[in-house]
């Protein structure tokens, strides 16, 4: 099979970790007889430096025309003072909107080899942590009207949180469909005791539930969910929620699993062209030192094979290789523990490649 992948290396550690993921993809292509063509795309701080724009139109076009997009990370101190509309993160928001990816799917899973890295008590971790947060990605308060105006001699800032029924329905369906492929439990998270947008959210979820009688739907207020994720994460299978709540809860969920360097994500819309990226940022503090953990990006590439290219065997091949390297005791600095062998970013990439094989 031939697939065209748009590659955004980005800023900070982005280029280092993406490099390892591409090497892994090349080896998988060799083993399974596929061809992966890569098109480089500038986005983020490097695009601001080069083009004066975090995501020029022609770069977005390359992404939309690809079969999927692999992204490292963008942003850094250097661009913190540029105006809001030109910040590296704006490139990311425009990319998501331009690709029409309205669902961000983040697994929160504990790798058995890294159970000690969780900040939670052992008895909580031992019950197992394996759930997915399905977050609405291109609506809600991040995409509503933002303005700051003068009122009665002082500044007033306004950010609008709005959702239509159809926006809720399409993300709700991804939640139900995801639950259907897992343990058939979907928890819808909102703030319906206060917000109108949440009351509509809840009503639409319950309407949809009638079409998915095999999935058990529950409701949870977002503040309670934040507590339950640290108190009893084993209760969750799939969580579906709106943009800002999902942003916060998915970061919390990633913390309880140990290192943010390990966690992949996918963003999908109505087509199979998805955006795949690790959940962490550009980690400017360790950029260029060859010590970043590339596993989140490598697992993002695996998710791309599974969800966009319909290559489950190839995705398993990558995930099994990662597990085998962890079994052998190799760790990057962020996940290092006593008795393990510390390796850098490129060495970790090489080790994973050495474990790739066809079953
Ligand atoms: P960050 O995720 O970049 O870093 C947080 C901490 O985790 C740092 O100590 C970093 O060294 C460590 N870390 C992150 N990824 C790692 C990896 N793969 N291996 C080892 N350690 C890792 O978050 P931040 O410091 O808040 O943000 C840095 C920049 O990244 C900012 O400009 C921010 O806007 C941007 N950012 C980008 C994205 C994205 O591109 N999707 C997401 C979040 C933040």
Tell me: the pLDDT tens digits for 106-152?
999 888 899 888 899 999 999 999 999 999 998 999 999 999 999 99
Instruction: Return the pLDDT at 270.
Output: 86
Question: Tokens 């999908």 sit at which residue?
Answer: 268
What is the model's pLDDT at position 148? 96
Instruction: List the catalytic residues.
Output: 142, 191, 223, 247, 251
| C-alpha to C-alpha distance for 267 and 37, rounded to whole angstroms | 21
Q: To test the ligand 1 pocket, which listed residue (78, 261, 282) has its Cβ within 8 A of the most ligand atoms?
A: 282
Q: Which atom of ligand 1 is nearest to the CA of 14?
A: 40
Q: Does domain 119-256 have CATH number 3.40.718.10?
A: yes
pLDDT on residue 83: 81
**What's the whole-model pTM score?**
0.88
Tokens matching residue 115: 């159970």
Q: For residue 241, give both structure tokens.
A: 């929620």
Residue 106 Cβ inside 6 Å of ligand 1? The answer reads: no
Cβ atoms of residues 77 and 84 within 8 Å: no
- Cα–Cα separations (whole angstroms), residue 150 to 6, 153, 160, 311: 44, 6, 17, 55
**pLDDT score of 106:** 92
Q: Kindly list the domain boundaries of the chain, sorted by start residue.
A: 1-107+259-359, 119-256
Q: Which residues contact 197 (CB under 8 A, 6 or more apart)?
A: 140, 161, 162, 163, 242
> Do 1-107+259-359 and 119-256 share a fold?
yes
Residues of the chain with pLDDT under 50: none
- The CATH code of the domain at 1-107+259-359 is 3.40.718.10
Instruction: Calculate ∠ Cα 102-128-119, nearest 5°.
Output: 85
């Amino acid at each position: 099979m031939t697939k065209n992948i748009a590659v955004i290396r980005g800023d900070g550690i982005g280029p280092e970790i993406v490099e390892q993921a591409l090497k892994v993809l090349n080896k998988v292509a060799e083993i399974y007889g596929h061809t992966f063509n890569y098109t480089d795309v500038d986005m983020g701080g490097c695009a601001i430096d080069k083009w004066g724009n975090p995501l020029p139109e022609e770069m977005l076009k390359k992404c939309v025309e690809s079969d999927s997009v692999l992204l490292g990370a963008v942003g850094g101190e250097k661009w913190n003072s540029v105006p809001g509309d030109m910040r590296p993160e704006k490139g990311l928001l425009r990319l998501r909107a331009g690709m029409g990816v309205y669902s961000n799917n983040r697994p929160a899973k504990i790798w058995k080899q890294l159970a000690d890295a969780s900040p939670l008590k052992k008895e909580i971790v031992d019950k197992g942590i394996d759930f997915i947060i399905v977050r609405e990605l291109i609506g809600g308060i991040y995409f509503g009207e933002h303005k700051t105006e003068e009122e009665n001699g002082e500044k007033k800032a306004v950010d609008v949180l709005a959702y239509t029924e159809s926006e809720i329905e399409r993300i709700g369906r991804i939640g139900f469909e995801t639950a259907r492929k897992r343990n058939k439990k979907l928890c819808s998270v909102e703030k319906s005791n206060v917000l109108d947008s949440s009351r509509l959210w809840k009503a639409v979820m319950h309407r949809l539930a009638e079409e998915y009688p095999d999935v058990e739907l529950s409701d949870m207020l977002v503040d309670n969910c934040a507590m339950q994720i640290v108190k009893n994460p084993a209760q969750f299978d799939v969580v579906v929620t709106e943009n800002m709540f999902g942003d916060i809860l998915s970061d919390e969920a990633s913390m309880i699993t140990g290192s943010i360097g390990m966690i992949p994500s996918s963003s999908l819309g109505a087509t199979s062209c998805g955006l795949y990226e690790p959940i962490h940022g550009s980690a400017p503090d360790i950029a260029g030192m060859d010590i970043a953990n590339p596993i989140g990006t490598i697992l993002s590439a695996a998710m791309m094979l599974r969800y966009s290219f319909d290559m489950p065997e190839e995705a398993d091949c990558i995930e099994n290789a990662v597990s085998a390297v962890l079994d052998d005791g190799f760790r990057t600095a962020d996940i290092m523990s006593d008795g393990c062998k510390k390796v850098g970013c490129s060495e970790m990439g090489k080790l994973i490649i050495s474990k790739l094989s066809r079953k």
